[in-house]
A and B are shown apart, each in its own frame.
Chain A
Amino acid sequence: MDFLNAIVLFSNFVIVPGLAYGSQLALGALGVTLVYGILRFSNFAHGEIMSFGAMIAILVMWAFQGAGISIAPLPTVLLALPFAIVATVFIVLGVDRVVFRYYRVKRSPPLILLIASTGVMFLFNGVIRFVIGPTDQRVDDGARFILRVRDFREATGLSEGLAIKTSQVISLGAAVLCVAGLFWFLNKTRTGKSMRAYSDNEDLALLSGVNPDRVVMFAWILAGSLAVVAGTLYGLDKIYKPFTYLQLLLPIFAAAIVGGVGNPVGAIVGGFVIAFSEVTLTYAYKKFLGYLLPSDWAPEGLAQLLGTDYKFAVSFMILVVVLLVRPTGIFAGRTL
């Protein structure tokens, strides 16, 4: 019984949240990796693009809520997602046209594009706060839980409960869908293959008649869409706070690098590695150990390896270890 309780406890506080958070990070890291693979620079504006997309989704959601449209028990924001994707992609393509294209045509070094992306980050940062303000916004209407702690306890008779939030299931489901769609696109379609070719060997792709503008456009469309989904899911799962997205940049970059920048499979694996390391290292094991160990062995403190406030340190430590041991990431390569 104690053993089952321990497993349930661990699932409730580590596995389920880790899966949801890992999905969100993986989607974010995929966007970073796509831009890196095609445009060959680290896009510091990616976090703010996620935030911007989530903001549009919230605005559209409010419109739907005002009009009384809902898809309960699912959250209304899902209905708003397509609109947010279209709007954000449109904006991102505009930004590419006005900002990044110039440096690409000039073949500027990647760091110059990186600096330009920090300018875009500033701009988005201000615009987002200008439109929606700096305060928190709740996104999760509809049924908040698929499985409630009390229901689980009553059904199983265990003293520990397991809760599964709607947003967690949606996160994982959306990630699976997006990843499957992305891989189908990259591996099966003509445009997708031309993107991989361009990422692998730019000169040879050009010789083969691949149109670079088209490849870049698709890279932004995909990265922008993934960013909107990732940003909205993060807001749905936790709460929408404009400032958190700048902080998400670190775990997202860490996920992309851990997996091997430019490699989509790596981005997904990296996302889950970072998410689970964060959750397992900042989880307080006191109760968990209490179930497993004889009663007089139970730890006195929280048995927490790291304070929750240091979760960013986890991404960083993993990043450092990867850079020291295997700078190319788990899946070496810079190609899609």
Chain B
Amino acid sequence: MTALLGEAMTGGYGGADILHECTIGVDDGEIAVIVGPNGAGKSTAMKAVFGMLNMHGGTVTMNGTDITKLSPQARVREGMAFVPQNRNVFTTMSVEENLEMGAFIREDDYRETMDQVFELFPILKEKRKQPAGELSGGQRQQVAVGRALMTKPKVLMLDEPTAGVSPIVMDELFDRIIEIARTGIAILMVEQNAKQALHIADKGYVLVQGRNRYTDTGEALLADPNVRRAFLGG
């Protein structure tokens, strides 16, 4: 049984359909990466899984339970966490408050989780009293990921986490993401930097015009000459 599976998803934002029979899935402790050219519907596919799209075909299940009809907020309660690409931190609130807001729906003591996040991203502990808006781009992404982890999610979804950060910071972020996956969390992410992302991916989805074009392990996709030629620049 797959931790998160969107099957044969069809739909769009109200106008023409953007996704056509698109299938995306990820298992516990796995990293799945969605890649593809601009306008392929990568982010849209992720939003569909998260319930931010008008879908009129296909289903989304979590560990076998159908969640197709749930609102994004309800999905958060079911164990999904989403890190949007833009505006993904509360800029006027301190790092610590950002993490607290991440744990907003939790009734239990969340300090342990916060310590884990600080362990994962030590720089955040150092800057925990600082407003998130004053941090650098890479640090902000860490806050955003940390905020999402505060709900103790089963599935973590990242929409282009490395957009706009330097290559060094990108490597660093990918390392952290692998670490997160090792704790048993399923990770689904959309990436612009396809090559690097596929290197760390257990599963890769190549989307073109809203349809699945290639689906395989990250390694296999990297080795596939067709994929290399068309999507990875040789």
Contacts and interface: CB of A to CB of B under 8 A. Distances in A.
Contacts of A335: 91-92
Interface string B68-102: 00001100110000101001111111000100111
A194 B73 contact: no
A206 B102 CA distance: 11
Given A206-B73, A207-B82, A200 B104 contact: no
Nearest to B75: A207
B105 interface: yes
B93 A208 contact: no
Nearest to B100: A193
Contacts of B73: 206-207, 209
A196 interface: yes
B110 to A, nearest CB: 12
Contacts of B76: 207-209
B87 A194 contact: no
A197 interface: yes
Contacts of B100: 193
A190 B110 CA distance: 13
Interface residues of A, number: 17
A204 B104 contact: no
A178 to B, nearest CB: 22
Contacts of A205: 90, 101
Given A206-B73, A207-B76, A208-B147, A197 B84 contact: no
B101 A203 contact: no
Contacts of B93: 193, 196-197, 200
A201 B91 CA distance: 8
A192 to B, nearest CB: 11
Indicate the member of B82, B100, B101 with the most A CB atoms within 10 Å. B101
A210 B93 CA distance: 15
Contacts of B89: 201, 204
Interface string A3-19: 00000000000000000
A194 B100 CA distance: 10
Interface in B81-134: 82, 84, 87-93, 97, 100-102, 104-105
Given A194-B101, A197-B101, A204 B84 contact: yes
A107 B51 CA distance: 20
Contacts of A327: none
Given A193-B101, A194-B101, A194-B104, A207 B72 contact: yes
Nearest 9 A-B pairs (CB), nearest first?
A209-B105, A200-B90, A335-B92, A208-B104, A197-B101, A200-B92, A208-B101, A209-B104, A197-B90
Given A204-B90, A208-B101, 14 more contacts: A193-B101, A196-B90, A201-B89, A204-B88, A206-B72, A206-B73, A207-B84, A208-B76, A208-B104, A208-B105, A208-B147, A209-B73, A333-B92, A335-B92
Interface of A: 190, 193-194, 196-197, 200-201, 203-210, 333, 335
